[in-house]
Structure formats: C-alpha cells, structure tokens
Structure 1
Amino acid sequence: MKTLRIALAAFLLGGLPLAAVAQAPALATFPVGATTVTASALAGNLTTIWELAWGPDNFIWMTERPGRISRVNPATGQVSLLLTLPDVTESNESGLLGLAVMEPFPLSVPPVATYWVFVVYNYTDQSVLKEKLVRYTYTTGATTLTNPLVLLGNIVATTNHSGSRLLVLPDRTILMTTGDALLASESQNRASLNGKILRMNLDGTIPADNPTPGSLVYTLGHRNPQGLVQLPNGRVYSSEHGPSTDDEINKIEIGRNYGWPNVEGYCNLPAEATFCAANNVREPLTTWTPTIAPAGLTYYDHPAIPGWRGSLLLAVLKDNKLTQLTLDAAGLTIPTRTDFLTTFGRLRAICVSPQGKVYIGTSNRDGRGNPAATDDRILVLENRAFVPTATRAAASFAFDLFPNPARRQATVRLPAPAARLTVRDLLGRPVLTQYPAGLDATLDLSALRPGSYLVQAEGATGTATRSLVVE
C-alpha cells in the first residue's frame, strides 16, 4: 500500500526522496575518528528553536518557542510555517516546547496522507501560567494544522522548569516529560503531574499497563528533563538539568524513581543512599558538575559517520557544544564523553535523518545567548565523502524471509554473513535490531504489533530490504 511504497522508496534512494541541490558553504569541519564532518547552515533567522524532529514525510518538523510550528525542507532549507499558536505564553523558559509527528493510520485502505502532530506548550489561564499537550492534524499538501485536540491540560507551570520533550513509542503510546515548575517537592508527589515522565494513549487516556492504575505517571523524581530518545532495542534515555551540580543522563525504566529533590546525581551521600534504597531510585548513567545544561538527545547508528555509531548525541546549552556519549553493550554505562561543535553557541534541538545527517538547532535568541546576525540556525553535520550503499542489492545478496506473513517468529536466511538485521516500522523507525552469528537468524516478533514492516540486512557486499507482514 501507499505507506509501504513511500518507506521503501526512502530506503532505495538513500533515505530522502528529494531533489539534490548544491551543498551549502562549510562553516566548520572537525574529525570524528578518521571521518571529516562538515557543518553548514540549512536555515537561519529563526527564534529559539526548541524542537527538531524528522517526520514520516521526510521533512524536518520544527518548533520555535514564541509559538511557531513549521516544516523544513532538508534539501533546500525552505521553512514553511504551518501555524502560529495563538495562546502560547513565552516568558523566560516558557513557550512552545516539544513536538512529535506520526502517521496515525499506516494501514488504512485506501491510504490517507494524514499525520498527527503533538505539541506541548505553556499558556495563561485566568492570569495563571499552565502547560498542555495538544494534538493537531496535518494533511499532505496543506498549509496549516487543523483539528486541535487537548489531550492533557491544566498542568502547573512557571516561567522555569517546564520540560518538555515528547516521544511516541512503538506501542502507540506517548511519553511526555514535565519539569518540577520550581516546586521541587512535587516531583515526589505521585498525585502531581510535575517532575514526571507521563505516559498516555494517543487520545490522552491512561494506558491500562501504566505502573499505577488510573495514573499517567510513568516515572517520577525528575527536576527538568529536556531530552528523550528511544533506541532500536527499546531502551529509553533522558537528559535532565540539575541545580548547580549533577546534570544527568538517565536510563528510563517504568515505575522507577529518579530521586529529585532528595537525591542530586548519584546515591553517594548517606541520606541519599537511604532514600534510594527505600524508594526504588534509578541512579544516572553519568553526571556533570558544574552543570552544562543538557538539552536535546538522539541516537546515532549510521555508517556515514562510523565514529558516532551506537552513541547518544547530546545538544548542550550552557556549555555550547555537542557531546557524544558512548554506550556499553548493555546500555548501562557511558564509558566515554567527547565534545564537538563548540563555536555555534547554545545548542538545544537535534535529530538524525535516514541519510545519517545530523541536524542541530541553536538557541542563541532565548535570552541567555549571544546571537549572531543569522541566528537562530539549523545546522547540518554530515560526512560529505560518504556514498550511500544502494538498498537495492545485487541478486547475490538477496535474502530469504519466511514465513511471511509471520506471527511470533520469522527466519532470515542470508547468502553471506550480515553485520546487522534491522526491522523498521512504516515510519522508518527501528523496532528490532539483531546481529546474526551465521547465515540463519530467527527474528522474535512477539513484541511487535500486527502490521507491515521492513526487514533490512546489512552486509559487506551491500544492503538489502524486504517487506514483512506481522499478523
């Protein structure tokens, strides 16, 4: 059907079915291992870019804190404004914040070119600042967003510590981070929505399998989380602002407590250790003291920049840098932290394209930076020497996939050893990754929802993709 054809076309063309244009002038180059990464500007003259998200339409979706939602053509840099929210309150850290875009009806017949656009922002209600999550509808070719539906509102807010990132999970629920709104004790109050990561269905209702029946609270004990990402293996990580010490990277685990305000960083003081033992506290993977103000967080796993593969990439505000965070095999420790891109000011938003390009949004016009004449900007980081391997593989690399349709398991039979097998949903997101030891591999599909997927095999002689239907 249409969505499957679109996804396949994106892979066959290296990830982006858009016309090629002349390369933008290089603003900087830097090494990542043996790779030279070039930084250039895709778009400029923006105001406090808060979110960049790679959409299922192969465009970049962007929020600016004053209230603007736009689509950005990643080939030309053209910014198409879709909507300026009329009730956004921008004051200090408040305003339009996180965004997520998804295709709600990927298996509809006939196909419907419709997307749901989720945004979280601050607004004023009877002179009181609050926060809400709203779902809009976008139809391909339209010039605006329509059908606003408030999924969650009346969240306590102030002009500081509002969060908030959004993440749509493969099970079609959505995570939303909230800050403590300068009410630190509320982070430990399970009846409060502040200082939490919330999980809800796409219509705002409470999932039946949340940790506490009838509660949106997924995790608690957060101060001000401003980064959120899920890896192909399902693990979720978050970045979080500390006070004057202990900015954190956390592995998010359902039902866990992350300590604030009783714990700052690790459970390494006597009172903290006691609280951690009694309250199921999950310690951070790494911390920074003094603080750096960590913001947007993404995962990089593309051959274009081999030195970044398997790492988290973190946009940093106060310390004006991009930080690579390597992960161990279990995803439980961060062995190394390496900094890049230190000359463009405050960095807040980040996303990765299917071509392996990294897009970063500066935040120099947020009242705390020193904006250049063309700020704020979307920067592109890329390996310009990288030549994508065609996904349309030679016959010698064609692989067998059976049964298809499949239920709980499927077998992949390879003609030659493969480095990796990846199952992607129709939004192009990895939902399962496996590293086969031989020529046969069994895919465990038990955690996947029924529907259409793409199975991608990467080997020394190329990459091949086949469609798979899970019943």
Structure 2
Amino acid sequence: MNYLRNATLAFWAAALPLAACAQAPALSTFPVGAATVTVSALTTNLNTVWELVWGPDNFIWMTERYGRISRVDPATGQVQALLTLPDVTPTGESGLLGLALHPQFATSPYVYVVYNYTAAGALKEKLVRYTYSAAAGTLTAPLVLLGGIDAATSHSGSRLLVLADGTLLMTTGDAQQQPQAQNTASLNGKILRLNLDGSIPASNPIPGSPVYTFGHRNPQGLVQLPDGSLYSSEHGPNNDDEINKIEAGRNYGWPTVEGYCNLPAEATFCAANNVREPLTTWTPTIAPAGLVYYNHPAIPAWRGSLLLALLKNASLLQLPLAAGGQSILPSTGYLTTFGRLRAICVSPQGKVYIGTSNRDGRGAPATTDDRILVLENRAYVPTATRPAAALAFDIFPNPAHRQATVQLPVATSRLTVRDLAGRAVRELQPDGTLSAVLDLSGLRAGTYLVHAESAAGRATRKLVVE
C-alpha cells in the first residue's frame, strides 16, 4: 500500500514557449498582509461559470450553467470544450452545476457532473459519470448514478466533492419544498454520500440511504480540509446565510431553524433533533457560493483560511479558522469590482482562480464576462526555482494533521518518512513528479523526518504531526 499519493503536479510552465508563459495584464492589485495580490483574467467570454476544479492533469475543469464541460489551460487560458450536455435544462438557477474528478484519474478517467433535466414535463436533477478520453478530447459513456431528484428553477444546489476516503458528496437544495429538508426519505435539502460507483457506503448514518446530513436549504459550497474536517456554505432565505461544519448524521435545522438556535421554538427543536448550529451567519444575506481552503505559502496572510465566493455581495471573503476549526475569526473582503463570484479553486502553486457569474440573469455583465480571474502573488518564488541547494524542498502545512504536501525542486527517486528512532513509517518512489501528498493518517502526533533522495543528492526536513 502506498502511503504517499502522487499529486502529479508537474511544472507545465517550464515546457511552454515564453510567449505562452507571459503574465497577463494586471486588472487590479490589493494587499493581503505583506503580500501584493495581482488580479488578471485567464479567459473571457464565458457564460455563467458554475464550477472550477483543479485537475490532476494540471488543467482547470470548468462547467458553465448552460451545459458545457471544458478543460482550461492555466498557462494560456485556452478553453477546450469537451461536451455540451444534450439534455440539460438551464432555466432560472437550474442547469449544469457541480463537477468532480475520480481521485485515480490516470487509471479511472471518470468525470462526475450534476445537472437539471426535464422528465415527463417536470424538472429533475441527476448525478452522471462520464468517461474522459485524453486522446480524443471527449466525454462519453454517460452513466446515471443517481437520478429523478426533485428540482426547481431555484434551490437545486449542487456542489460535488470527492472525500479523502474515496467517497463522493453531493449537495441538494430543498427545491422549494421546504418540509422535505427534514424528511430523510427525501433526497432534497441534503448532503448525500455515495461510493464512486454510485452504491451507498455501508458507513452512512442511515443504512441503505445516501443521506449524510439533512435540514439544508440550498448549500452551494463544500470543502474538506487536510485534517478531514468538512465545511459548507449555504443560502438562507432573507436572513441567515451560513457556514456550517458538516458532521455525519447531523440535522442542520431548515426550515424550522434559520441560522442559530436563538429563538425559543428553535432552541426546543434543536435540543430534540440533534441540530448542528452554523459557525457563522449573515443577515442581510450575502449569497455564499464556492468555498475552498487556502494554506499555501504564496499568500501567507491567507494560510489557514476558508475563501468564499459571494454572489449578492460580489466579492471574495477570507474566513480565518480558529485553532481546531470550530469557529471563524473576523473576516476580510476582497475583489469587489468584478461582479458576482461563484466558482473558486486553488492551484498547487498557490494561485486562486475565480469564476464570475454575471450572465446568470442577476448580474450586470461587462463586455468580456463571464471570466476566470487569477489571483496571485507574483513576487512569490517557489522552492523549485530558488537559488538554493539542489534538493531543498518545502512541506506544507507544517505542522500538519492528516495530509501534507511535499514540493520538490527536481525529480526525486525516493521519499521516506521516519520517526525519531529512525524507523521508516512511510515510503514512496515519486516516478518523476515534482509534488507528492503525504498521507499522515494513523501516525501518532509528534516529530518526524522526511528524507528525499535523487541523483542530485539527499535532503531532510522536519515535519510535525498534530
């Protein structure tokens, strides 16, 4: 069993012509701590970007609500259209929504998408798996893993997320059928958990059911941290947008509870129904959408924070997590001049990619909208190009919990994690990749040494596991 997962994060920029690697013109800049973040446009003239996922092929995978699935080259901005869904129904807030990739994409090139369609005159939602051909540039062989879910022109969710345990989460909205959020026999107003073949995990809270959590109104952001913690962003009615810490089997209150359990009737319901209160709420509402975790050294002041894309408030919000991740520290807003923001992902180089949603019927699109914006600290120089020892490497986060990333300057023949007694506890041959993810699950808290070996020599870094 390999305890170190190859992340296959090769530095594509080194192989591209200089013209292709030239930096795009800056649209704006803003300070984040001591760093200056530059905003540029990767690509333009899109139509309601709904999802952005950084793929193991080092491309950005994108969905647009009208039904197109594409790969976007992060070096050139070139959009490679793979498929426009033939049966998508893009009406109101419905259409093509979330996307996820199989974690063993090289050998299992499966792409998961969730979208709305029409069946017998009724709007529905389904989760479909496609097979990707890199040679042909196509998505074929659609397999419906879950279908027939009630939908509406609003409140359909739906974000997808593959967890570290190899299962798939899918958020669903209440489809304007509010009581169904509390009905565990219904798939609306839920976070669902499936195996990657569509079967139901034996460890789900309700045997034989895909329901993982319930009592949701319209969750549209979902992220897992390296320590396994799960967080979701959720739209409230005219009050109480939420960030929730997701825990298996918990009830999140809707429609009886809006935000905290702070009214007498809500407190009674919460006590009797295992309700998990949100970490934070917003009234007036801000329309929270895509959610990621940022912990890269490129922008140090953002490390240990959730980054949240906002639709109504048209900005990017930094939500620092307190130690233990059980509360959120005071937030800071950025990126306030580009309209509605919905999709967000982070590259292994610490760049943040954000998709605008100004053509969704509620925005005021500029002539080049919709766009994918790039947020980066252009002064940051990664270890791989610093004038340092040939095999100097970085580990982040450090201290770490369940995972840490090793960023290597050159191809490395072996990585070994040893305890302070010198015993090897993890080993891997990285097969020429420049980055690898250390799976730290099962290790006791303490200090370890990570050894890297290559033709250039050997190097060792200390790693603290919490």
In structure 2, the partner of 1:276 is 270
Q: 1:357 to 1:395 in 2, by over 3 A?
A: closer
In structure 2, the partner of 1:244 is 238
Provide the C-alpha distance between the structure 2 equivalents of 1:136 and 1:437, rounded to a whole number of angstroms: 40
In structure 1, the partner of 2:354 is 360
Provide the C-alpha distance between the structure 2 equivalents of 1:250 and 1:51, rounded to a whole number of angstroms: 20
Provide the C-alpha distance between the structure 2 equivalents of 1:336 and 1:157, rounded to a whole number of angstroms: 35
Q: Which amino acid counterpart does residue 301 of structure 1 have in structure 2?
A: N
Check whether the contact 1:55–1:102 (CA below 8 A) recurs between aligned residues. no
Q: Which amino acid counterpart does residue 299 of structure 1 have in structure 2?
A: Y
Aligned with 2:155 (options 161, 182, 193): 161
Provide the C-alpha distance between the structure 2 equivalents of 1:164 and 1:455, rounded to a whole number of angstroms: 42
Question: Offset of 1:335 from its aligned partner?
Answer: 1.1
Q: Which range moves more in the overlay, 47-56 or 20-29?
A: 20-29
CA RMSD of aligned residues (A): 3.2
Deviations 1:16-41 (A, max 9, x none): 66526110000010000111000000
Aligned with 1:441 (options 431, 434, 448): 448
Deviations 1:217-244 (A, max 9, x none): 0000000000000000100100000000
Q: Which runs of 5+ in 1 are unaligned?
A: 107-111, 416-423, 443-453, 457-461, 467-471
1:115-264 correspondence to structure 2 within 5 Å: 115-264=109-258
Q: Which range moves more in the overlay, 428-437 or 181-190?
A: 428-437
Provide the C-alpha distance between the structure 2 equivalents of 1:398 and 1:54, rounded to a whole number of angstroms: 22
**1:81 aligned onto 2:88:** no
Check whether the contact 1:233–1:431 (CA below 8 A) recurs between aligned residues. no
Question: Offset of 1:116 from its aligned partner?
Answer: 1.0
Q: Which amino acid counterpart does residue 66 of structure 2 have in structure 1?
A: P
Deviations 1:308-344 (A, max 9, x none): 0010000000000000000011100001110000000
Aligned with 1:351 (options 339, 342, 345): 345
In structure 2, the partner of 1:26 is 26
Secondary structure at 1:334 match in 2? coil
Q: 1:80 to 1:9 in 2, by over 3 A?
A: closer
Question: Offset of 1:414 from its aligned partner?
Answer: 11
Check whether the contact 2:8–2:56 (CA below 8 A) recurs between aligned residues. no
Q: Which runs of 5+ in 2 are unaligned?
A: 395-413, 423-429, 453-457
Deviations 1:329-366 (A, max 9, x none): 11000011100000000000000000000000000000
Aligned with 2:375 (options 367, 381, 401): 381
Provide the C-alpha distance between the structure 1 equivalents of 2:293 and 2:139, rounded to a whole number of angstroms: 28
Provide the C-alpha distance between the structure 2 equivalents of 1:146 and 1:414, rounded to a whole number of angstroms: 51
Q: Which amino acid counterpart does residue 137 of structure 1 have in structure 2?
A: T
Provide the C-alpha distance between the structure 2 equivalents of 1:405 and 1:303, rounded to a whole number of angstroms: 22
Provide the C-alpha distance between the structure 2 equivalents of 1:391 and 1:8, rounded to a whole number of angstroms: 18
**1:341 aligned onto 2:324:** no
Q: Which amino acid counterpart does residue 178 of structure 1 have in structure 2?
A: T
Provide the C-alpha distance between the structure 2 equivalents of 1:99 and 1:455, rounded to a whole number of angstroms: 36
Q: 1:339 to 1:405 in 2, by over 3 A?
A: closer
Aligned length: 423
In structure 1, the partner of 2:50 is 50
Question: Offset of 1:441 from its aligned partner?
Answer: 2.4
Q: Percent identity?
A: 70
Secondary structure at 2:109 match in 1? strand
Deviations 1:165-208 (A, max 9, x none): 00001211100000000001000001000000000011111100
In structure 2, the partner of 1:312 is 306
Q: Which amino acid counterpart does residue 411 of structure 1 have in structure 2?
A: R
1:372-411 correspondence to structure 2 within 5 Å: 372-390=366-384, 394=389, 411=418
Secondary structure at 2:384 match in 1? coil
Question: Offset of 1:147 from its aligned partner?
Answer: 1.3
Q: 1:331 to 1:16 in 2, by over 3 A?
A: farther
Question: Offset of 1:428 from its aligned partner?
Answer: 5.7
Provide the C-alpha distance between the structure 2 equivalents of 1:300 and 1:222, rounded to a whole number of angstroms: 25
Check whether the contact 1:391–1:464 (CA below 8 A) recurs between aligned residues. no
**1:99 aligned onto 2:106:** no
Provide the C-alpha distance between the structure 2 equivalents of 1:464 and 1:150, rounded to a whole number of angstroms: 47
In structure 1, the partner of 2:410 is none
Check whether the contact 2:239–2:284 (CA below 8 A) recurs between aligned residues. yes
In structure 2, the partner of 1:419 is none
Provide the C-alpha distance between the structure 2 equivalents of 1:17 and 1:56, rounded to a whole number of angstroms: 17
In structure 2, the partner of 1:109 is none
Provide the C-alpha distance between the structure 1 equivalents of 2:168 and 2:50, rounded to a whole number of angstroms: 19
Question: Offset of 1:103 from its aligned partner?
Answer: 4.2
Provide the C-alpha distance between the structure 2 equivalents of 1:463 and 1:8, rounded to a whole number of angstroms: 21
